[in-house]
Structure 1
Amino acid sequence: MKRNWGTVLLSTLVISSMTLTACGSDAPSKEKEGKTPAKDVKSVSVDGFPIVKDPIKLKMFTRIAPTNGPFKDMPVFQDYEKMSNVQVEFIEAPTDGFNEKKNLLFASNELPDVMYRSGLTPLEAIRYGSGGQLIPLEKLIDSYAPNLKKLMDAYPEIRSSMTTPEGHIYALPGIVTVNAARTDKKWMNQAWLKKLNLKEPETTDDLYEVLKAFRDKDPNGNGKQDEIPMTARASSGPGLGIPITDMMSGSFGLDKQLGYYINLENDKVQIWMGNDRNKEMLMYLNKLYSEKLLDPELFSQKEAQYLAKQGSGNTGFFFDQTNNPMLNVQDQYIGIAPLKGPHGDRLQSAAAPVPRDFGAFAITSVNKYPEATMRWVDYFYSDEGSTLLRFGRQGENYELRNGIPYYTDAFLATGNQSKITPYAGGGAPHLISEKVASFINPPQVQEAQKKLDPFMPKIRYAAPMFDEQTAQQMNVLRNDIDKYYEEQSTKFIAGALSFDKWGEFQNTLKKMKIDELQKLYQDAYDNLKKQK
């Protein structure tokens, strides 16, 4: 899964300097008081369809991924307009350069009615909300979003992930209740295990021995030492983490809570970047790398290269959410459980929170129909609405098998799945449950997830919301700390930096005020606990 848990990490704090000016200078102050403009609240149905008797029009600014077709041509929006009487005009902006266009909208105060699939960061949501350009949503949710409210009651971490310290909600997330869409599976080449008469590894020591056999004993049978024993994604960019450490940290007792390198023990926040368990993990990965058990292209390969290695069948061990990249060799692979580490730890640390995609939907202050708009988006937080969004039209695009939607073979053959749905490319405001996840959760993936389920955290806290001043403070701290940590960790793994320098590494983190950063997270966690 290209994410990303770290997804979620620095991107939740960083904001372009463009947005520091002209935000909210002309926005209505009444939004700050929790009031929302309304044309005729009585005309909005609280349930059922149509949402409004007389058609209304909304403009929505959205990101369009390279794989998508035009939103106006998608069955979900064509059919939903007829159901709801809400006509939507999408203002589409490509992924490349999207943030600049988004920032310009706010800076110029030329706002659409809705920010859809726009990846608003918590800092942006708070800034534009407190400035009056986004309206508070908590009262609208209570009155007009029964599906979302039900999910918030079932998963309290959803509310905490999007509620500001002042108690406002300015943006809605995508919600993932199916575990298989929250994890990268640990895919092991079972064909190689069988050929070499090896057992599925249970511990990090077992994995080391298996990888050596993959390297030395020619499991692909071509007489060449060309096998890739183990690989992982390269980092997606500064502040987004190192995927290989995310995949292995649970074996060393290292969790990823609050969207950061954090363990929670007895309600105490511990940032573990400089602790001894992290040193052990990096030393283990260094051993694999130095012995050519870990892909030498680990830190440089592009996404396409990584996906090609999955589909080649010539890789022993790798990580991904689903099995789509390796369908032509899927029988070679099996999902395995997290590996037990040297201290007995066996945690599935790389698991996204249930509220996975922050800032997927927000209503601006120019919207004349906020009640109807909330009803409009709430439908997609139901299995029925999510099925329409993800699968299109029954018969034409999908069929039901035991009540679960599956793309038809004829439609799959067209290769147009990503053309009919805004979920392809990520970040759409909707529910991903077991009932709507057949494409990303086929039987092989379900079996792999079962190996991870016993080791999933009981609750995975998303990155918390901060007030604007604190968010700015964290932004400054994390810009330096994250960059330094990722650079040094890469050097430790690759052998470019001796572990004799670990003390210097720890001291530098302290000089960068990692203790101050930890206190800010502790305060945020304490506030989160008070909200419950």
Structure 2
Amino acid sequence: MRNKRSKSLLVATSLTIAMTGILSACSKSTDTTDAPSTASASSKAPSPSSTTGFPIVTKPLTLKMLQRIAPNAGPSKDLLVWNEYEKKTGIKVNVEDVPTEGFTERKNLVFASNELPDFFFRAALTPLETLKYGTSGQLIPLEKLIDQYAPNFKALMAQFPEIKAGIMYPNGHIYSLPMIVTTKASLVPKLWLNQKWLDKLGLKQPQTTDELITVLKAFRDGDPNGNGKADEIPLSTQPSENKTKDNFSLVNFFAGSFGLDLQFDYRANIENGKVKLWSTDDRYKALLQFLNTLWKEKLIDREYFTQTNAQYIAKMTSGNMGEFSWGNNNPFAAIADQYVQGVPVKGPMGDQKFSVSDSITKVFGTFAITNVNKEPEATMRWIDYFYGQEGSTFIRYGVEGQTFNYDANGEAVYVDAIAKDPKPDAAACAKVSPYCGGAFPHWLNEKNDSLVNNQAVVDAQKVLDPYLPKVKYGVPLFDEATSKNVEMLRNDIDTYVREQSAKFIIGDLDFSKWDNYVATLKKMKNDELERMYQSVYDNLQSKK
């Protein structure tokens, strides 16, 4: 099974490389201006003892780290991984743990005051922030350090060219490192369908939008949970708790059924060499009309637009949803056998695709070194361990024989004391690893993802594989001026599209107003935004 799984990943990755490898052309630019002078690899003490091996330094070294932590994460000073890693490396890291809800404010403050840590960890730096603070000199360029002191990350870049494309700016610099994910099952959300309800009602999995409506109505009216109440939730998808962001999962999950893709991590199709932002496309209108039908028939979770992730997870664990989306089956592990992977339904124009997936540089800006760091070489070696097989397993699972062991397939699995804890994720996070909360700088791969992707999740991914786009372009890295323009336009456009789309879906805005909606987007310079994305695509094609 593992060999088959690896082959599936290799095929998918090769397809991605075939097109996205050209993104490395972004590293070429007539702008060769370096950022202001920063800490360098000059001789000073302490220094790396070698480019490989442990300890990293010949003399004790203390560094300051600022990191974002999840609500259920334990204090960094108590984590087994950090304490063990200090012994291994000779580097003591003083960590400032900042809760997620206050991290953006704290991050902005340290940059504004220039009271910087030596490095950021799980930093949630945006592409524009990274470029801004990199060109100002507060974040140092990393490409030379990677070349000399990061053999693991360098090897990943060689194996997956899209990594370099996703982190190197047009000025040729890399200012931050991402989380690297090479397990396809971790890049694609799943469509979990309640097979127990289908069996009880004598139904088959829906294959078209019309069949889906029939099935959802049966979920609504047929009392499949058997409690005599009309309390079933036919359909729901993961909410976007940040309502200002363009993360509209209800739209995204059905986009492929209407011929709509999500290229460049945006509402974008690429058709015959042309980039089309489809917010004004008639196919999008048809998608919204379909969702409006689902809403009017009370087939969509009535709390979709207002619920939090915590509320959504609670609904998953109840087993009272007919179809819903989530990346794995961990939250509903106790009833996981109730659900199977559904297929994307075929839309009215014959389209049957699944557009939602991430690039392998799944989380941008998780790690960065600042210009106050006197030992960037040692710091780069410190983080690089987590991009190798041994180190990436260590940071997720801890110490072999103490907190984890390898199974027959060579995958890391927690020992029973952790794995059988009523809340295994919380126990692991609070006592062992910074894993809790995700999105931290390391390599997630097939040998260390068992906590995330069990065999049922892997099998579910195989169901989706035939419906995925052959080519997936990640977030483009524009130059600073263009980035600011894109951000300015998208702030207004994305908010407007989201708000108006929600109104179309719930019926607060009649579809007779569609032309007004399109005209407003034109006034908001949606066409100009489309030309910016087109120029990125054209540049990539010219560098083939």
**Same-fold call, TM > 0.5?**
yes
Residue of 320, 326, 348 corresponding to 1:320 = 326
Partner of 1:121: 126
Partner deviation per Cα, 1:367-409 (whole Å, 9 max, x = no partner): 1111121111111111211111111122332221021111222
Which segment drifts farther, 185-194 or 451-460? Answer: 451-460
Contact 1:397 1:411 in 2 (8 A): yes
Contact 1:57 1:88 in 2 (8 A): yes
Partner of 1:257: 263
Residue of 510, 513, 516 corresponding to 2:522 = 510
TM-score by length of 1: 0.91
Contact 1:258 1:462 in 2 (8 A): yes
Correspondence list, 1:281-320, <5 A: 281-320=287-326
**Residue segments in structure 2 that go unaligned for 5+ positions in a row:** 1-32
Which segment drifts farther, 135-144 or 78-87? Answer: 78-87
Contact 2:37 2:137 in 1 (8 A): no
Residue of 347, 351, 355 corresponding to 2:357 = 351
Aligned amino acid, residue 482 of structure 2: T
- In structure 2, the residue corresponding to 1:273 is in which secondary structure? helix
Contact 2:188 2:356 in 1 (8 A): yes
Residue of 184, 187, 190 corresponding to 1:182 = 187
In structure 2, the CA distance between the partners of 1:164 and 1:89, relative to structure 1 (3 Å rule), is same
- The answer to whether the aligner puts 1:418 opposite 2:432 as a matched pair is no
Distance 2:352 2:40 in 1: 48
Contact 2:41 2:377 in 1 (8 A): no
Contact 2:265 2:474 in 1 (8 A): yes
Correspondence list, 1:221-260, <5 A: 221-236=226-241, 237-260=243-266
**Residue 429 (structure 1) shift:** 0.3
- The answer to whether the aligner puts 1:46 opposite 2:75 as a matched pair is no
Distance 1:224 1:105 in 2: 54
Contact 1:188 1:317 in 2 (8 A): yes
Contact 2:39 2:376 in 1 (8 A): no
Residue of 55, 62, 65 corresponding to 2:67 = 62
- The answer to whether the aligner puts 1:479 opposite 2:485 as a matched pair is no
Count of residue pairs brought into register by the alignment: 504
Correspondence list, 1:75-224, <5 A: 75-224=80-229
Contact 1:120 1:358 in 2 (8 A): yes
Partner deviation per Cα, 1:416-441 (whole Å, 9 max, x = no partner): 12212223112200011111110110
- The answer to whether the aligner puts 1:383 opposite 2:395 as a matched pair is no
In structure 2, the CA distance between the partners of 1:209 and 1:489, relative to structure 1 (3 Å rule), is same
In structure 2, the CA distance between the partners of 1:529 and 1:129, relative to structure 1 (3 Å rule), is farther
Distance 2:482 2:404 in 1: 47
- The answer to whether the aligner puts 1:334 opposite 2:346 as a matched pair is no
- In structure 2, the residue corresponding to 1:134 is in which secondary structure? coil
Distance 2:543 2:169 in 1: 10
Aligned amino acid, residue 370 of structure 1: P
**Residue 116 (structure 1) shift:** 1.1
Taking only aligned residues, the RMSD between alpha carbons, in angstroms, comes to: 1.9
Contact 1:188 1:335 in 2 (8 A): yes
Partner of 1:22: none
In structure 2, the CA distance between the partners of 1:166 and 1:388, relative to structure 1 (3 Å rule), is same
**Residue 516 (structure 1) shift:** 0.6
**Residue segments in structure 1 that go unaligned for 5+ positions in a row:** 1-28
**Residue 134 (structure 1) shift:** 0.8
**Residue 33 (structure 1) shift:** 6.2
Contact 1:36 1:135 in 2 (8 A): no
Aligned amino acid, residue 337 of structure 2: D
Partner deviation per Cα, 1:85-130 (whole Å, 9 max, x = no partner): 2221112211122111111111111111111111111111111111
Distance 2:232 2:279 in 1: 32
Distance 1:136 1:433 in 2: 27
Distance 1:260 1:177 in 2: 21
**Residue 35 (structure 1) shift:** 7.2
Partner of 2:277: 271
Partner of 1:361: 367
Distance 2:35 2:420 in 1: 49
Aligned amino acid, residue 51 of structure 2: V
**Residue 515 (structure 1) shift:** 0.7
